[in-house]
Amino acid sequence: MQNSILDTPIEYLKGVGPHRGDILKKELQIFTFKDLLNFYPNRYLDRTKYYKINELTYHLTSEVQIIGKIIHIKTVEQKRGKRFVATFMDETGKIELIWFQGFKWIKENIQLNTPYVIFGKLNHFNGSFSMPHPEMELLSEHKQNLRSGLQPVYPSTEKLVQKNITNRSINKIMQQVFSETQRFFTEVFPTHLINELRLLPKNEAFLNIHFPQNSELLAQAEFRLKFEELFFLQLQLLSKNIVRKQKIQGFPFDKVGAYFNSFYNEHLPFPLTNAQKRVLKEIRSDMGNPAQMNRLLQGDVGAGKTIVGFMAMLLALDNGYQACLMAPTEILANQHYIGIKELADKVGIEVGILTGSAKTKERKDIHERLESGKLQILIGTHALLEDKVVFKNLGLAIIDEQHRFGVEQRSKLWKKNVIPPHILVMTATPIPRTLAMSLYGDLDVSVIDELPPGRKPIQTLHFFEGKRLRVWHFIKDEISKGRQVYIVYPLIQESEKLDYKNLMEGYEGISRDFPLPQYSISIVHGQMTPKEKDAEMERFVKGETNIMVATTVIEVGVNVPNASVMIIESAERFGLSQLHQLRGRVGRGAEQSYCILMTGNKLSDDTKVRMETMVRTNDGFEIAEVDLKLRGPGDIMGKQQSGVLNLKIADLVKDQEILKLARHKAIEILKDDINLEKEQNQTLKTILQKMSEKNIIWNYIS
C-alpha cells in the first residue's frame, strides 16, 4: 500500500471533518484513512430480499426491506412530547413509519410520492404493522451506491449514537474512503504464496470485507485478511528468534562433566520419563551452541520440571559457571531451595537462598561467596535482581512462573554478566499451544506432557452446598487413615475484609465440626505476617495439624505428600487455571487423592462448563484450551501481554487452523530466505522493518 494517502488524518476525508474526526478518534481509535479501512464489520445484514407489504407476518424477527412511497405525513401529540408518523405504501398495502425523536431533519427533507427503500424492524399491533425509526434511502441513490446484498454492521458506542454517527454514516464514509484510496492498495505477499493458497488479492479482500458481493467472497476476504494478520505476527516473532540467535552470544557449554554424570548415574531419585529426557536433550543442544538459549519449559503440575531445571544447572556447573533460580514468592523460593539443596548435597554442590526477609549478616555472607564463585547455585525471589547481587560468572538463569515477573525485571538478570546467561523460563500454567505460538513465537518451547510413573490421577468431584455433611463425613474418614486435608476459600481482591470474614466464619464452623483434641487445624491468610504464615505451614508440613484452612496463598509452593484431599469452597468464584493449580497441591504421594469442588446451587453456563471440565480431565493443556475458549486470550495472559494480541480481525480461538498455516508459511519463507533479501520478499521485509521500529529492546528478553 502506498503510504502517503493512507496515512491522511481522518478529518480530511469528505463527509468527516474536524468534529466527527474527533469523535472517531476518541471512540474508535480511527486516526487515519488506513485505520478506517482496518475497522471491520462485526456482522452482516442480508439485504438481498425486498418484501412486499402483503408478505409481512408477525413471525418476522429480523429487519425487513421494502420499496415504496410516502404518501402522507403528520405530527401526533402524545402525553410526553410528539411523534412523527408517515404513511408508506407499495402496490400491495400500507404501513406506518414512526419517529419519536430527532425527526426535525426527516420532516424537512422527506419527499412525498417518491420511491424510497426503507429498512428496519417491524412492530405488530392490533393487526397492523409499523416500523419505528427506519433507515431510509431514495431508490435512485440506493441503486447507485457501492453496496451489496450483505450489508456490514460496524461496532458502535453510546457516544456515536448520541452524536448521530449511525451505521449508515460509517457505511457512507467507508464508501468515500474506498473511492479515494482503492487504486493505492498494493499486494504484500509474493505471487507464489497468493497462487498456492488461492488468496483473494488485497484490494478485492478489502472491498469484500466491507461490501461483500456474496457470502462466498465474504468468506474468502475474511480468510485472506486473517491469514495476513497472523502471518505477520508469526513472521515478526520467528525472525526475532533468528536474529537473537545470530546476534546474541551465549556460553557454549560443550562439556558434560562429573556433576551431571555422577548425579544422573548414581543419585537420580526416580527414572526420568521420556518427555523429561526429550526436553533435557533440547536444553543440552541449546546450551551447547554459542548462541544464547531462550527456552520456555511448559509442564503440568507435578510433571517434574524442577529436576530438569536442576540438571540444566549441573551442565552450567560442569562448564565452570554459576546458576540461579528466581521464583515469584518466598514460599516458592523456599520450596525450590529445600528440593534443590537435597539433590545438590548428594554431589557436593554449594547452594544458597536469598529472599527479602534475609538478615543483613546472611546477605553479606551470600554476596561474598557468590562473587568469589564459592556459591555455585543461588535461589531466590526479586532479591536476586538487586545491584549488590554480583555473580562471579552466571551461566544459566532459570525463572519460575514467568508470567508473574515484569519483562524489565527479567532483563536485569541479563545484565549480571557481560555475556548474557542462558535463560530457561518454567511455567506450571499450561498455555494452549495456539496461544504459546503467538505469545512466545520468539522463544523455543519445550513441553513435558507426561506425569512420572506411579502417580495416581486425582479424582475430582463437584458437590452443591446441600451435600456438605457427606463431604465432612468423607474428610473424617480420610483423616482417620492418617491423611491431611486442605480447605481453600476464594480471595476476592477488592475486599480483603470480606475475604477475612468468609475465611474466619468458615474456620469457626470447621473448628466446631472437627473439635480438639481429635482434630487440629492450621490457618493461613493474607493478614498474617510471613513469620506467622511460615509457622502455620510448618505445623501442617510436619503433620502436627490435620486440616489447613487457607486462602489461595497455597496456590503455589506447598508440597505435602501426605495431604490427599483438596476442598475448594465457592469454587464458582475461581478461574479454571486457578482451580487446576489448587488441585495440584494434592496427589503428590502414593495414595489416591481427591479434589472436591463446593458450589452454590445457581451456576452460570460458563461455571457449569468449568466444573464439568475439572471433573472430566486432569490434563492441564486441555483445561487451558477450554479456558481460552471461555475467557479469550487477553484475560488469560493478563494486562502485561495483552498488547501482543491486539488483533483486528483474527481470533486465536476460532482461527487456530489459520494460525498454524500462517506459522508454517512464515517458517518456509524464512528457511528459504533468512534475511528476506530475495526480490519477491522485499515487501515483506519493508513491513517487518516497520513493525520492528515500533518495538523496543524488551522483545529480545523472553
Are the folds of 258-448 and 459-617 the same? Answer: yes
| Distance between CA atoms of residues 604 and 58, nearest Å | 32
Q: What is the pLDDT of residues 190-223, one digit of tens each?
A: 999 999 999 999 989 999 999 998 889 999 999 9
Residues counted in the chain? 702
pTM over 0.95: no
| Distance between CA atoms of residues 673 and 18, nearest Å | 46
Q: Which one, of 34, 330, 80, lies nearest residue 185 by Cα?
A: 34
95 CB-near residues (< 8 Å, 6+ apart): 53, 56, 66, 88, 89, 128, 129, 130, 131
| Distance between CA atoms of residues 475 and 469, nearest Å | 10
Fold of 459-617: Rossmann fold (3.40.50)
Only one residue has cell 554480583, namely 390
Q: Determine contact, residues 117/142, Cβ cutoff 8 Å.
A: yes
Whether the per-residue pLDDT at 130 is higher than 80: the answer is yes
Whether the per-residue pLDDT at 74 is higher than 50: the answer is yes
Angle at 647 between CA 643 and CA 652, to 5 degrees: 105
Q: Determine contact, residues 70/110, Cβ cutoff 8 Å.
A: yes
Q: What is the pLDDT of residues 491-507, one digit of tens each?
A: 654 455 555 667 788 88
Whether the per-residue pLDDT at 445 is higher than 90: the answer is no
Tell me what percent of the residues of the chain surpass a pLDDT of 70.
90
Q: What is the pLDDT of residues 584-621, one digit of tens each?
A: 888 887 789 999 999 999 999 999 999 999 999 988 87
Query: Cβ atoms within 10 A of the Cβ of 76, count?
Result: 9
| Distance between CA atoms of residues 397 and 324, nearest Å | 5
The H or E element that residue 523 is part of is strand 521-524
Q: What is the pLDDT of residues 216-229, one digit of tens each?
A: 999 999 999 999 99
Which SS3 state, helix, strand or coil, does residue 442 take?
coil
335-358 mean pLDDT: 92
| Distance between CA atoms of residues 443 and 410, nearest Å | 14
| Distance between CA atoms of residues 451 and 301, nearest Å | 9
**Dihedral pair phi/psi, residue 52, rounded to 5°:** -90, 150
By the 10 Å C-beta count (0-12 exposed, 13-18 middle, 19+ buried), 371 is classed as middle
Give the pLDDT score at 556.
52
3.40.50.300, 2.60.40.1260, 3.40.50.10490, 2.60.40.10: CATH of 258-448: 3.40.50.300
List of E strands, 300-383: 322-326, 351-354, 377-380
Q: Where exactly are the structural domains of the chain?
A: 48-146, 258-448, 459-617
Only one residue has cell 498455516, namely 661
Q: What is the pLDDT of residues 620-669, one digit of tens each?
A: 878 888 888 887 665 544 444 444 456 788 887 788 889 889 999 999 99
CA atoms within 13 A on the CB side of 624: 21
Amino acid at 665: K
48-146 falls under which CATH superfamily?
A: Nucleic acid-binding proteins (2.40.50.140)
Q: Which residues pair with 568 in a beta bridge?
A: 488, 597
Q: Determine contact, residues 134/120, Cβ cutoff 8 Å.
A: yes
CA atoms within 13 A on the CB side of 355: 14
